[in-house]
Amino acid sequence: MLNVSGIAKRYGRQVVLDDVTWAVSDGARVGLTGPNGAGKSTLLRIIAGEVEPDRGTVALPRGARVGYLPQHILGTSGVTVRRHALAAFADLHELEARRASLEHALATVAPESEEYPAVMERYRAVCDEWDHSGRYDTEAEAEAVLAGLGFRASDMERDCGELSGGWQMRAALAQLLLRRPDFLLLDEPTNYLDLEARTWLEEFLVAYPGTLIMVAHDRYFLDVTVDHIAEVLHGRVTDYPMNYSRYLAEREERLAQARKAYEDQKAEIGRIDAFIHRFRYQASKAALVQSRVKQLEKMDRLPPPDGHERTLRIRLPEAARSGRAVVQLEGARKRFGEVRVYDGADVLIERGQRVALVGPNGAGKTTLLKMLAGVLPLDGGERRVGQNVALGYFAQDHAEMLDPERTALEEVMGAASIETAPHVRSLLGAFLFSGDAVEKRTAVLSGGERSRLALAKLLVEPSNCLLLDEPTNHLDLTAKEVLLEALLAYKGTLVLVAHDRYLLDRLPTQVIEVGGGKAVRYLGNYEDYLRAKASAAAVATAPRGARAAGPVRASR
């Protein structure tokens, strides 16, 4: 059992956690949700012992091991991917070493000697402990987890320091999962995972024997992995013993009830007020008026229900219309060392299209986007940009590129021109940075706040073609919806890398699948693309006779 009681935490004048009392039973699977900046990461850090609360206590079972994956990791270097993962077994390896030395001792100490029984005893204890761990082939186990998270055999001996931020996160996650802590705390583990790795992680977590507490904003992922939701809001935690979809519905219902109760009470107060005003000078009614006044004083005033909170407002500034062919790659070639990522790819992005780039791990989605954006030079072939094209590029690690020493205001000011600079504060306001918040250093911002800031930076200058690499990472549900709406309303051209089904099902008008050095185009959204793939696969695997039997129905 994990018991959190009376936890409070503030930063400056901002009260992040007000009074959190919360219990999590052993083996529970809990999704921690709530809007960006609500304090989810702060709570996890407090439980993990990385941040001291101002007040309150955290109680864990004696000897319980807690493992924590932060939202932003500090990468390691000077160690290979394999070694890094195997470090999870440090305790076990130490046990192994002890067993080996005791074996050696048993072989050298004479059986009839006085010390022999004691050595034997110690040897047995070590063997028992070893058996109890039930983990014999640590190398294989490490390889399986690394492979599940998308590492290829050729990556195993690479230095962690060479990896991109997203891959360092995967390396850290692999080590943590291998350690098998009793309490596994994961802060948005899916942000840098593609669909394959995400699916693997889903299965791993479903089978995980310990207690799981995880922050995520992804409905599909949460519905599979957790059956319990804890919502962080206004400095408190509320438990919802149900899955995420049911929680969303339940929250709507509670909100509707709270709104009704609030409105009913307001009406009641209005009626009493009117009565008091009407009869306050009539002596005959004095007693009645007095009792109404008392009634008002005694009434427990309901707070205005949630939903009155400010929400993100985004309007994407649009530049004048571009030419019909927006960006084009012809015979594009790109290689990294030995790996040929593109070997003569042709891609044409036309005005008004909304294109999603999909493909397995390491297929080169980000690479293609960078080549389209012109931030990564081609090794061969040509890149052409159409007339009047104003590109806006949002990099995957954009939020990590923020200068930790600068304030939010300084960051956006740095990206603005003389014309747009006067609007920066109101732009930041639309992204929910107001008052004091614009003066925060980017280093202390929450994940979602950083992403918002990076988006705000992108949007200070108008564009007619946006190239977005995982723009919804770290954004909460509302922010995601608002961004989706803004992107749907955007008349410019859009090229997108995303792993979020929420976006993928709604946004694209076509899908470009990359892999094997090529880029293949499919019309329609992600669902259509999956269907097309499924029928192609069914045709390919169907027995000969069945193949002629007309169109194959997709399984979804």
Q: Is 444 in the site for ligand ATP (CB under 6 A)?
A: yes
Q: How far apart are CA 130 and CA 125, in angstroms?
A: 9
Window contacting Mg ion (CB under 5 A); options: 20-28, 37-45, 162-170, 312-320: 37-45
Q: Give the shortest CB-9-to-ligand ATP separation in angstroms.
A: 8
Window contacting Mg ion (CB under 5 A); options: 32-40, 123-131, 246-254, 393-401: 32-40
Q: Is 70 in the site for Mg ion (CB under 5 A)?
A: no
Q: Is 190 in the site for ligand ATP (CB under 6 A)?
A: no
DSSP state letter for 191:
T
Q: Give the shortest CB-440-to-ligand ATP separation in angstroms.
A: 6
Q: Give the shortest CB-46-to-ligand ATP separation in angstroms.
A: 9
Q: Is 36 in the site for ligand ATP (CB under 6 A)?
A: yes
Element (H, E) at 538: helix 526-541
How many other C-beta atoms lie within 10 A of the C-beta of residue 132? 8
Query: Which residue shows structure tokens 């992403």?
Result: 451
DSSP state letter for 74:
P
> Helices 244-279 and 286-298: crossing angle, nearest 10°?
160
Task: Tell which positions 140-179 bind ligand ATP, by CB under 6 A.
Answer: none
DSSP state letter for 353:
-
Size of the site for Mg ion (CB under 5 A): 5
Q: Is 447 in the site for Mg ion (CB under 5 A)?
A: yes
Q: Is 40 in the site for ligand ATP (CB under 6 A)?
A: yes
Side chain identity at residue 299, one-letter code: M
Q: Between 12 and 337, whose beta carbon lies closer to ligand ATP?
A: 12
Window contacting ligand ATP (CB under 6 A); options: 128-136, 261-269, 447-455, 507-515: 447-455
CA atoms within 13 A on the CB side of 347: 34
- The angle subtended at Cα 125 by Cα 122 and Cα 126, nearest 5°, is 90
Window contacting Mg ion (CB under 5 A); options: 56-64, 68-76, 217-225, 487-495: 68-76
Q: Between 35 and 517, whose beta carbon lies closer to Mg ion?
A: 35
Q: Is 191 in the site for Mg ion (CB under 5 A)?
A: no
Q: Would you call 357 helix, strand, or coil by DSSP?
A: strand
Task: Tell which positions 472-531 bind ligand ATP, by CB under 6 A.
Answer: 474, 476
User: Shortest Cβ contact with ligand ATP: which residue?
Assistant: 448
Q: Between 42 and 464, whose beta carbon lies closer to ligand ATP?
A: 42
* β-bridge partners, 9: 17
b/e map 229-263, b = 16+ CB within 10 Å: bbbbebbbbeebeebbeebbeebeeeeeebbeebe
How many other C-beta atoms lie within 10 A of the C-beta of residue 181? 17
Q: Give the shortest CB-47-to-ligand ATP separation in angstroms.
A: 12
**Per-residue contact flags (x/-) with Mg ion for residues 71 to 90, judged by CB under 5 A:** x-------------------
Q: Which of ligand ATP, Mg ion, none binds 449 (CB below 5-8 Å, type-dependent)?
A: ligand ATP
Q: Give the shortest CB-437-to-ligand ATP separation in angstroms.
A: 7
Q: Is 445 in the site for ligand ATP (CB under 6 A)?
A: yes
Q: Between 148 and 447, whose beta carbon lies closer to ligand ATP?
A: 447
CA distances to 26, 135, 148, 149, 206 from 143, rounded to whole Å, are 28, 14, 8, 10, 20
What is the total residue count of the chain? 556
Q: Is 175 in the site for Mg ion (CB under 5 A)?
A: no
DSSP state letter for 439:
G
b/e map 323-341, b = 16+ CB within 10 Å: eeebbbbeebbbeeeeeeb
Backbone phi, then psi, for 37, in 5-degree steps? 80, 5
**Per-residue contact flags (x/-) with ligand ATP for residues 381 to 420, judged by CB under 6 A:** ----------------------------------------
Q: Give the shortest CB-206-to-ligand ATP separation in angstroms.
A: 24
Among 2, 4, 7, 16, binds ligand ATP (CB under 6 A): 16
Window contacting Mg ion (CB under 5 A); options: 1-9, 326-334, 366-374, 441-449: 441-449
Q: How far apart are CA 292 and CA 286, in angstroms?
A: 10
- The angle subtended at Cα 514 by Cα 508 and Cα 520, nearest 5°, is 70
Query: Which residue shows structure tokens 């012992």?
Result: 49
Q: Would you call 309 helix, strand, or coil by DSSP?
A: coil
Window contacting Mg ion (CB under 5 A); options: 195-203, 303-311, 352-360, 445-453: 445-453
Query: Which residue shows structure tokens 């070694």?
Result: 83
Q: Give the shortest CB-537-to-Mg ion separation in angstroms.
A: 38
- The angle subtended at Cα 149 by Cα 527 and Cα 176, nearest 5°, is 135
The gap between the terminal CA atoms of the chain, to the nearest Å, is: 41
Among 33, 41, 168, 451, binds Mg ion (CB under 5 A): 41
Q: Is 41 in the site for ligand ATP (CB under 6 A)?
A: yes
Binding region for ligand ATP (CB under 6 A) = 11, 16, 34, 36-42, 71, 440, 444-449, 474, 476
Binding region for Mg ion (CB under 5 A) = 40-41, 71, 446-447
